[in-house]
Structure formats: C-alpha cells, structure tokens
Amino acid sequence: MEFDLTKTVALLVALVALGTAGLIGGRMMRTNIVLMMVTPSMLVFGAICLALGVKHGEYRAAN
C-alpha cells in the first residue's frame, strides 16, 4: 500500500477518532474534557510524529 497525503490524513483522523471514541465510551473522563483538550492534543501530537517520521524516512532513503 502506497501512502499519499489523502490516505495518510484519513488514517491519522481515523486513529484519533478511534482513541476519542474509546475514551468517551470507557467513561474515563468527562466528554467535554475529551473533546476540548484530549482530541486536539492527539491531533497535534500525531501531526508532529508524522512530520518527524516523514523526514526520517527521507533521510533513510537518501543515505
């Protein structure tokens, strides 16, 4: 499977949605806290990790 931007973003959003649904369904925290604090931080952390992973892959492919 080759990843392009559309598939990568869709996979990131799906993983965050799955994590959000798990936290809400498990009643670990109040729903408004999950939606206002946890979900945005998961998206930002995922985007940072994705960017680092892409740069590392580019480095590995070049060397």
Are 61 and 26 in contact, with CB atoms under 8 Å apart?
no
Tens digits of per-residue pLDDT, 13-59? 999 999 999 999 999 889 999 999 999 999 999 999 999 998 999 99
The answer, as to whether pTM is greater than 0.95, is no
Can you tell me the distance from the alpha carbon of 38 to that of 54, in angstroms, rounded to the nearest whole number?
24
Tally the domains of the chain. 1
Residue 12 or 3, more confident: 12
Q: Is the pLDDT of residue 1 over 80?
A: no
Per DSSP, helices labelled H in the chain are 5-25, 31-33, 39-62
Can you tell me the distance from the alpha carbon of 18 to that of 21, in angstroms, rounded to the nearest whole number?
5
What is the span of the domain harbouring residue 54? 5-62
